[in-house]
Amino acid sequence: MDTSTYFHWWRKLSIPSRLLMVGLAAPILVLNFWALASISNYFGVLIAIVVVASLLAFLLNYPVSWCVRRGLNREPASIIVALLTISLLLGLGISLFPVAFNQAQQLVNRLPEWFESGRGQLILLSQQIEEKGVSLNLDVITAQAFDRLQGQLQTLTKSLLNIALGTVSSVVDIVIDVLVTVILTFYLLQHGDELWDSLINWLPKESQEPVSSTLRLSFQNYFIGQLLFGICMASVLVPLFLILKVPFGLLFGLTIGTMALIPLGGSVGIIMVTGLVALQNIWLGLKVLGAAVVVQQLLDNLVAPRILGTMTGLNPAWVFISILIGAKTAGLIGIVIAVPTAVVIKTVLTSLRSQINSVDATTTRLTLETASPSPTQSVTKV
């Protein structure tokens, strides 16, 4: 069945009829979206496990495929890659996590001192400005701002403590979820292609290959690019912060690198770390800001194009909007998959629009050819 058959009914509708069809379809789409959101909330943990396992399988499929191309069977290749990944994560966790956790505890204990230091620096700055004849009343604004920040800090600390206590009390559930995720990831590594083909086969035959390639490019390459980008950010910033003698440099570098795994998260992490360091020493905070921004721009302009290329093709405004929608719909998981999902939707809509335009152009050309006689017909009439 050619493309013109799909849109034959749409071409026969007038513009008001098309608008009416869109208006009738919009509530149905909203209702379906609400139903999917309700189902995802009900199966929240299960969906999170499936999504995380699928993403891990996407990422690990590259080394597994590389081993298969070198002549190794997929099952032993999956076992080797899974064991190496678990060993690497355990090694990094044992070597870095205790140090970062210790620094996090020290940071929480020293934050009140840093707030007092920041208050003193702003009051001193206000006095220096007032000595030059400019009255800004920064001391009053500073007192109000820091009192509010301290209140927010106390609330955040209590929330983190409650989360930590809840995590300790539900450690058995967490271990079970992690084990289920690891097992499902290993299964998808071995039999993911079969499962993928069985799902794609439900689509029309002419759409199977485009849909499959679009989904693979949008998800697999995107997450691999974000992972490499976050690793590069952390690998460069940690030694740089240590050279600059930034307090808690390991914790701050890992925080920015981890947040860089999420779109726009690196910028938020840089602002947060800069603000915390500036509380203790405003000039050191400016150095941290300058170093982090330079590293981020270098990676954005040199490394990211080679990793991601022009795969997303999304306007930054649409990236931000998709992240907000993902956060509202599915929380952290929604933030993670928001951008590749938006890329898939954009690709489908662009393809659909191009098909409609091509069908309209073909119809217009055939109509004009039918209305105007050909030169052969004109000669015959003469």
CA gyration radius, the chain: 28
What pLDDT does 310 receive? 47
302 DSSP 8-state letter: I
What pLDDT does 10 receive? 65
pLDDT per residue as tens, the chain (382 positions): 444 455 566 667 777 777 787 787 778 888 887 877 777 777 767 877 887 888 788 778 888 888 888 888 888 888 888 888 888 888 887 888 888 878 877 887 787 787 777 777 777 777 776 677 666 565 566 666 666 666 666 566 555 555 555 554 455 667 777 788 888 888 888 877 777 777 778 777 777 777 777 777 777 767 777 888 888 889 999 999 989 888 888 888 888 988 888 877 888 889 888 888 888 888 888 899 999 999 888 887 776 555 554 445 667 777 778 888 877 777 777 777 888 888 778 777 777 677 666 655 666 666 666 665 555 554 444 4
Could you tell me the sign of the dihedral formed by the alpha carbons of 186, 36, 211, 324, in that order? negative
Instruction: Evaluate whether 222 touches 339 at the Cβ level (below 8 Å).
Output: yes
What pLDDT does 143 receive? 62
What pLDDT does 362 receive? 65
Backbone angles phi, psi at 260, to 5 degrees: -70, -15
**179: Cβ contacts below 8 Å, ≥ 6 apart:** none
What pLDDT does 382 receive? 45
Tell me how many helices (H) and strands (E) the chain has. 15, 0
Burial of 261 (0-12, 13-18, 19+ CB in 10 A): middle
Domain boundaries, the chain: 209-310, 312-362
Provide DSSP, 274-291: HHHHHHH-HHHHHHHHHH
Could you count the other beta carbons within 10 Å of the beta carbon of residue 6?
14
| Coil vs helix vs strand at 49 | helix
